[in-house]
Every structure is written in C-alpha cells, then in structure tokens.
Amino acid sequence: MTKLWGGRFQKSAESWVDEFGASIGFDQQLVLEDITGSVAHVTMLGKCGILPQADVTAILAGLATLQDKAVKGELVFEVANEDIHLNLEKMLIDEIGPVGGKLHTGRSRNDQVATDMHLFLKNRVTEIIELLTAFQQTIVAQAEQHVETIAPGYTHLQRAQPISFAHHLLTYFWMLERDKARFTESLKRIDISPLGAGAMAGTTFPIDRELSAELLGFSSVYANSMDAVSDRDFIVEFLSNSSLVMAHLSRFAEEIILWSTDEFKFIELDDAFSTGSSIMPQKKNPDMAELIRGKTGRVYGNLMGLLTVLKGTPLTYNKDMQEDKEGMFDTVHTLVGSLKIFEGMVRTMTVNTKRLHEAVHSDFSNATELADYLATKGMPFREAHEVTGKLVFTCIQRGYYLLDLPLADMQKESALIEADVYDVLAPTAAVSRRNSLGGTGFTQVAAQLAQAKQLLG
C-alpha cells in the first residue's frame, strides 16, 4: 500500500517493520478527538478563505459520516496507515474523494496528535474530578454513621490512641480533596491548543489559531510553535497526579485488607467486591482492594516511563514521543476503574461496631489519657509518662488493662491519681475530650463533616 507520505520513497518497509512503528493499535482511542480536531481545523480553513466553502462542506459531511461510524464501532483501522490521523485521512478520501486530502492543509500530524491528547485529557480529567467527588460523598456518608463509633488508632501498626472511626475515614476525604485540587489546577495547562503549530515552525497559510481554539473549547493557544508540538508536561503532570491518587487508594486498600481479616474483623466487604477460593470453601478475599494496591505500581511505572522518554529528546518532535500514549491511556483506564470500584466498596462495606468496641476496651490505647490526667494535676509530663509506663507494665504482668487496675495499685505510683481517673480512661471519654482543632473529638469531627459537605457544595 502506498503511504500518504510516500512520494519521496522508492522502497517500502516490510510488514513487520510497519507493525513495529505503527501506533494505530492504541491511538485509535483518540478517534473522536481526532475527528473533533479536524472539524474545527477545516471550519477554520473555510472561515479564513484558505479552502472554498464547497470543499469545506464536503469534508465536514465526510467527517460526520466517519464520526457516526466511529460511535457505532464500524471503522476498521489498518496498520499500514500507521496511526489514527492517516487512517482517518485515508477513510475520508475513500468516502468523499481527493478533496479529502485538502483536510491536511496548514497542519501536521505533530500538532494534530498534540491537539488530540489535549482534548482527550481535558475530558478525562473532568471525569476523574467527578469520580473523586463521588467517592468523597460516599466517605462522608459512611463517616456520618460512625462519628461516635470508637476505633483503635495506630502508629507503627501498633495500637496508639482511641479515635472516632469517622475521623479515620475523613482522612481519606482530605487526601482526595488535595487530589481534586491538583487535577483542577492541571486543567489550566491541559486547556491549551497546539493546533496550527504545524510540524514545528507554524505555517505559511493565513490560519486563525485563536478561532480553532475557540471552536475546540480551549481557553488559550501555545505562544511558541515548537513548544506546542514538543510539550508533554501536561501528560507528565496528569501521570504524577494520578500516581498520588493511586498512592492514597493503595493506603486505603491496605487498611481495608487488614480490617477485613479475622484478626481485625473491623469491617466486612460486600460480596460484590470480594472473591472466593478455588480450593478453600470458607474464603472471602478482598481481591478488589488487593488489585488496586497492585495496580498502583503500573501507574507509577507509566510516570517513570514517560519521564525517561522525555529526558533526552531534542526539540521538537521525535518518534520517541509515540511512547507518550499507551501509559496515558492505561493510567486513565486504571484510575477511572479504581475510583469506581473503591467508591462501591466503601459504600457497601459493613462496619463491625461491636468488634471495634471490644478492641478499644482491651488495649492500652488510653495510656496517654492517664499521662495527660497526671499532667493536668501539676506533674511534669515527662514524669507522668514514666509513671504511666510503669502502670502499663504492672498491668501486663497481671493480665489487666488500665481500666481493670485497682485504684490502690495506681496510687502506689502516684498519690495524684484519684477515683475520677476511671472516667478519664474510658475510651468514649478519651475521644470526646480531644477537641483541639482538627482533633478526633466528636464535636470536632462533626465540624469537619460540615466543612466537608460545604466543600462538596
């Protein structure tokens, strides 16, 4: 098959070479964006008098036909035509005749593919922001049910202090809020039009780049034609932002996995987000959480892959940059799927409040309360810390917890300890008293929930 760019060549590559160099296997995902860009481009060519209106009308009709076929999944792409741009141009010529070849007037595949990716990410980032918001809403809904559910808080994966379970859940709300802010900010750098930059130096045709940008819904155009075709910062930024979201999801997934074990039993996942074993009938595995934890690595890999591709490429376009797409597509697919799965997983999970109650009444996570109690009585905190540590050791030796230790034994370590200490050591009291700004106290958590709802609007 003769290439659309083949006039200078006397010899064709073998088919396996074409297959190695072709991108149509993955960039066909840009089909609608490519057609959208072409519609804007040819409309602009007509407005500027570069193409006669009859040609513009014919090309627009042909593009409309291709778009309809694309939506219906009826387009057949060929490796011999390399990429989405040449495939569509060949289809357009087949559809309306040689006039279809005029579509490429005043543009290059270099600015064309950059335009496609800007359009693609603009739409997908908007979708991702909506998914992040939906997940936040689910977290808030679960948190509202568990403001006064007391759970063990951890540091080093060891029991630390009792907390409101809602407070724990809302931690992820704020992570996602920062993720949303990063994606929203990145839209400023995605929402720029490269169209009309040509191969790298602009064009001699009297085009109107601002008109093209307006037709495509872009807020601005690249000021430098070389930057327009070589910039992939916006994809790197997308991959970086996505990596942070996946890091947050992976941390949450790890906790979901731990909480659902028999050792914790803090939650139970819905059957729809669990799987069984082919050999062990009793198993209920948190596979979706595990898979999201695993997929985090591939998103990180996509980021590092593109950074490595870009680190040594001179200006402007190089074939290396064909490697910018697969990781981008894969990350979009992975992130969108992970957010949808996680939202459903959290929305349908059952919190085992009885088990959480048992957990906080059978540990030493209230030890800080005793140290604080002594400090409020005038004992230096460092001394209070030591006294409390000795009492914890006494409990361990006797098989007690602090609430079980007789007052007389406590008073052997400090005469400042009185009968009211048992009220202070109660887990509910321990949580409710922590009302510093942003703390786990019930009134603070309620305020945090109100703030979260206000942000969700």
Residue 392, C-beta contacts closer than 8 angstroms, at least 6 positions apart: 364, 367, 402
- How far apart are alpha carbons 418 and 370 in whole angstroms? 11
What's the CA angle centered on 347, arms 342 and 348, to 5 degrees?
105
Contact by Cβ (8 Å): 208, 51: no
> Which residues are annotated as catalytic?
156, 277
- In whole angstroms, give the CA distance from residue 15 to residue 409: 86
